[in-house]
Amino acid sequence: MTDAAEDVRPLLRVRQVREFTDAPVDPAALDAVADAARWSGSSRNSQPWRFIVIREPATLRALAEAGLPQTRSLATARAAIAIALPTEPGRRVVHGYDEGRAAERMLIAASLLDLAAGIAWIRSEVRPAVAGLLGLPQDRFVRTVVAIGHPTDAARKPKSAPGEARLPREETVFSERWPG
Ligand SMILES: Cc1cc2nc3c(=O)[nH]c(=O)nc-3n(C[C@H](O)[C@H](O)[C@H](O)COP(=O)(O)O)c2cc1C
């Protein structure tokens, strides 16, 4: 592997984890993940997000129950960070873009800290229950909760055969023009 490819390998190791051990998450690590998120870039630097750091087991489990199956990772997560966005209808796409940037940063930060994380998507019909659990004001909603913890051995195992986790390079990366 070239040096450049080796340098970006920590990013390639970032994976979605949905099952966590009982080991607690260091509060300083959780703060570092939240800081990585709030330093994400956003459209016109509007920073539309607010991040709710959740450590209370009862809240984590209630979130898991509310949004199954997408929220199953929260059944074992020791912590989570919810992204609260404004409900402004005209800004939906741009806020979603910014939200994705922050969510991925949290997954990367967790991985760099030897933690693991996963995205739990809150379906629209589940959002009122989540708003109630998190005490959101009327003008905010949560679509993404990032589950955080230490991965179980099973969760650490590769989910696919070597080389099969992603489409092959030649099918996804093109030079100069669409091929054909
Ligand atoms: C927009 C978005 C929403 C996702 N929603 C969920 C979800 O609700 N629950 C879940 O367990 N995983 C969710 N995922 C994680 C994907 O399933 C995961 O990234 C994909 O399976 C690749 O897994 P890997 O990165 O571990 O290879 C979501 C990912 C994205 C980008």
Question: How much is the mean pLDDT over the chain?
Answer: 96
Residue 132 lies in a domain: yes
Residue 107 lies in a domain: yes
Q: In whole angstroms, give the CA distance from residue 142 to residue 105.
A: 17
Assess whether pLDDT exceeds 80 at residue 1. Answer: no
Assess whether pLDDT exceeds 90 at residue 163. Answer: no
Residue 162 pLDDT level (bands cut at 50, 70, 90): confident
The pTM for the full model equals 0.94
| Orientation of helix 127-134 relative to helix 57-66, angle to 10° | 170
DSSP 68-109: TTTTGGGGT-SEEEEEEEE--GGGHHHHHHHHHHHHHHHHHH
Residue 65 lies in a domain: yes
Residue 48 lies in a domain: yes
Residue 156 lies in a domain: no
Instruction: Return the pLDDT at 49.
Output: 98
Assess whether pLDDT exceeds 70 at residue 155. Answer: yes
Instruction: Return the pLDDT at 6.
Output: 94
Residue 161 lies in a domain: no
Give the tokens for residue 34.
């939240």
Ligand 1: which of 16, 19, 73, 144 to mutate, judged by most atoms within 8 Å of the beta carbon? 16
- Pocket of ligand 1, beta carbon within 6 A: 15-16, 18, 70, 73, 118-121, 165
CATH number at residue 91: 3.40.109.10
Query: What Cα–Cα distance (Å) separates residue 133 from each residue in 30, 65, 75, 98, 136?
Result: 20, 12, 15, 24, 8
Number of domains in the chain: 1
Assess whether pLDDT exceeds 90 at residue 26. Answer: yes
Using one digit for the tens of pLDDT, what is the confidence trace for 55-97? 999 999 999 999 999 999 999 999 999 999 999 988 889 999 9
Residue 17 lies in a domain: no
Assess whether pLDDT exceeds 70 at residue 121. Answer: yes
Nearest atom within ligand 1 for CA of residue 73:
11
Ligand 1: which of 20, 121, 144 to mutate, judged by most atoms within 8 Å of the beta carbon? 121
DSSP 117-177: EEEEE--GGGHHHHHHHHT--TTEEEEEEEEEEPBPHHHHS-SS-TT-SS--HHHH--SSS
DSSP 10-57: HHHT--B---B-SPPPPHHHHHHHHHHHHTS--GGG----EEEEE--H
Instruction: Give me the domain span that covers residue 146.
Output: 22-151
